[in-house]
A and B are shown apart, each in its own frame.
Chain A
């Protein structure tokens, strides 16, 4: 069952978002960064205050708290930078993410991307279904997926790691590419438009289990 984008983010994240304006706007009164999050003290103060909000959805230990939130811990810095940039300029639409990044500077975005890229990628222990590998290899061969996502689907720089990503997120985002609801990579949209929903689901399960 495919969940509609944004539905879950609202109850979970808007409550957290209520603090965005005050936390960013009230830098002179900010509280010290929580020491429990490694590396947080390396961030500019207003960003350190923002990070707990990120973790509310993407998971304190890197394991997302909801089906449509991707793993961002250990994801490539270049990719995280580009996505945050796109949320800021509106070319990638998500009501919560667009709101969170709208007042961030380019430097802020670079800092955040570097911060999350340095955190360890979590292992989710997801499983695929029988036959998913056959479908995935056929699709990857036809679509030349590894030409960009590289060997083992580990990605590099501005190309995301797919191996071990949250399966439910992969399903949602690949289908969103297909329908162009996610419109910040036209080449991905054109390619995924040639795959069926069932093929996308199998590919997502295969990638998630890697």
Chain B
């Protein structure tokens, strides 16, 4: 199909593994109150989230991470009547990347610097407020972000900038337990929302810019005890000396020099990075989790890390119950551009090369491609047309700075995609932000920013954003909408045939999911750079999004959670 391009107009447990705190958190809770009809979040509810037209139980709506909300009350024919129902202002006016979680009329949202609020989802009234007491050492890249809580049982869970996992009583906001995930002084931090499944809380780590050794860990939901760890960097990280990327382009590696370096310095796995920034998708039937792994450390300097740097820049599947490796697919071996894998993978059925529908996994890359995989073995079926300009790929970074597109923010950054399986479309937010890549070799600095050079935005070149609807059965772009600024935040699709997304300039938009036609827009007054969600209470559907701007792209800061509903 021909592609069209449009421009937008304008309870307490005392255990060894975790620090049990009992009532210690009470003083941090303001206005704690019980909410009469709040329900426990059961595993059955989480399993059935994809078809739940009332709640929004997962960061990406369901375990497959489709971000497709199944209520059609708000739809293409009436979305023009969408108006703010309420606005809640947090006390933190700083970057917002949170996805509101809604459980039977109670909404949980997070802010920068790890505050959590419970709100009445009908009115926006505050029920409780928890403020995590951050330790003196936090080391994080790209802003003091938090992307939300996981809800499970009678608790909500949050990862913190000082690399802790906290469990709060969902009714009161009181701290039940907290445990250290990793040492923040070594560059570990948490911004992702955890994933709750079968009594486990799964969480990855930031730190690919600080020479960490990445992981995904599973903790016991009741006690905080560590159940398993999967290191995203195996002790043998060398791989197969791949010379071409997933799309078949030569990455200009000097394999002979790398082999010589490997012989001298050994495997660099201990400081090789490989953060996991976003939620894993969960395949309950196969008992697997699928996630993507970020860039190697140091970002731009490959001389200190010979080999393919497994499993950086890869899709990885591990066993849900044990954390054991199952399969992976590496997009870029020995990445020296930070064009890594961040946006959460989505489980959908896809057509294979013979046109047969098979269980698949799709991922939107910072390269600007959507990659389509077989779920069985992680192998690549196809990659989409490039959604953003690509130039001079793969030019190696230089001391003076080499220009190559995309710039290091992508393509598709951490922003989650959405999928409408009825249309076979994936909706991806993209950036076009030209940069030069500068390399300078420096030794591991012990938990400090370790880029191996610098990324520089080219100030004289135009920047913009593009929302692309991609047919994942063919890899073709069905339609695309350009925006005046690079896009970051995330997408929501609904059964009403709508796609919602925000912009750095404060606009929050609804498009026709089939055509990209703009049907509605609202000016939020601060950057809308968080993934939207939807929920239904007392028979009324709402769309909700955070408008708090963004540190990474320096979009105007705010502190609002805005819920929208239809007016008569």
Contacts and interface: CB of A to CB of B under 8 A. Distances in A.
Contacts of B113: 156
Given A113-B136, A157-B139, A141 B457 contact: yes
A185 B554 contact: no
Interface string A134-166: 000010011110111011000011100000000
B138 A157 contact: yes
B313 interface: no
Interface stretch (A22-30, A31-39, A190-198, A202-210): A190-198
Interface residues of A, number: 32
B136 A114 contact: yes
A102 B507 CA distance: 54
B440 A190 contact: yes
A144 B94 contact: no
Given A147-B551, A151-B551, A185 B136 contact: no
14 contacts: A78-B138, A110-B136, A114-B136, A141-B457, A142-B458, A146-B551, A147-B554, A150-B94, A150-B144, A150-B551, A158-B137, A186-B445, A186-B449, A193-B454
B137 A81 contact: yes
Given A81-B137, A147-B554, A151-B557, A186 B457 contact: no
A157 B448 CA distance: 13
B448 A187 contact: yes
B142 interface: yes
Interface string B120-136: 00000000000000101
Interface in A1-49: none
A201 interface: no
A114 B440 CA distance: 34
Interface string A98-133: 000000000000100110010000000000000000
Contacts, number: 92
B459 interface: yes
B457 A190 contact: no
Contacts of A117: 136
A77 interface: yes
Contacts of A144: 455, 457, 554
Interface of B: 94, 113, 134, 136-139, 141-144, 161, 401, 438, 440, 442, 445-446, 448-451, 453-459, 551-552, 554, 557
Contact of B456 (A143, A148, A151, A184): A143
Contacts of A141: 457, 459, 554
Given A78-B136, A191-B454, 11 more contacts: A78-B137, A141-B459, A143-B457, A150-B143, A151-B554, A151-B557, A158-B137, A158-B139, A186-B450, A187-B450, A187-B451
Contacts of A186: 440, 442, 445, 448-451
A193 B449 contact: no
A147 to B, nearest CB: 6
Contacts of A191: 454, 456
By secondary structure, the B interface counts as: loop
Nearest to B549: A151
B454 A194 contact: yes
A189 B448 CA distance: 13
Given A147-B552, A157-B134, A194 B455 contact: no
Contact of B438 (A77, A138, A148, A194): A194
B143 A142 contact: no
Contacts of B401: 194
Nearest to A143: B456
A91 B442 CA distance: 13
B136 A81 contact: yes
A194 B440 CA distance: 12
A189 B452 CA distance: 10
A9 B421 CA distance: 68
Chain A to chain B: the 5 pairs with minimum beta-carbon distance, closest first: A186-B442, A157-B138, A187-B449, A190-B454, A77-B136
Contacts of B551: 146-147, 150-151
Given A138-B459, A142-B457, A194-B401, A148 B137 contact: no
A87 to B, nearest CB: 14
A81 B138 CA distance: 11
Nearest to A113: B136
A151 B552 CA distance: 10
B464 to A, nearest CB: 15
B336 to A, nearest CB: 14
B127 to A, nearest CB: 28
B387 to A, nearest CB: 23
A190 B143 CA distance: 20
A186 B144 CA distance: 22
Q: In the complex, which of the residues B454, B456, B554 has the most CB atoms of chain A within 10 Å of its own CB atom?
A: B454
B554 A146 contact: yes
A151 B448 contact: no
A151 B94 contact: yes
A194 B551 CA distance: 22
B42 to A, nearest CB: 38
Contacts of A143: 454, 456-457
Contact of A193 (B141, B440, B451): B440
Contacts of A151: 94, 551, 554, 557
A100 B161 CA distance: 31
A142 B456 contact: yes
Contact of B143 (A113, A114, A147, A194): A147
Nearest to B455: A144
B488 to A, nearest CB: 12
Given A142-B456, A147-B552, A190 B451 contact: yes
Contacts of B442: 186, 189-190
A155 to B, nearest CB: 11
A190 B438 contact: yes
A65 B551 CA distance: 34
Given A150-B551, A151-B551, A186-B442, A156 B144 contact: yes
Nearest to A150: B551
Contacts of A157: 134, 136-139, 161
Contacts of B139: 157-158
Contacts of B448: 82, 184-187
B453 A190 contact: yes
Nearest to A138: B459
A194 B436 CA distance: 11
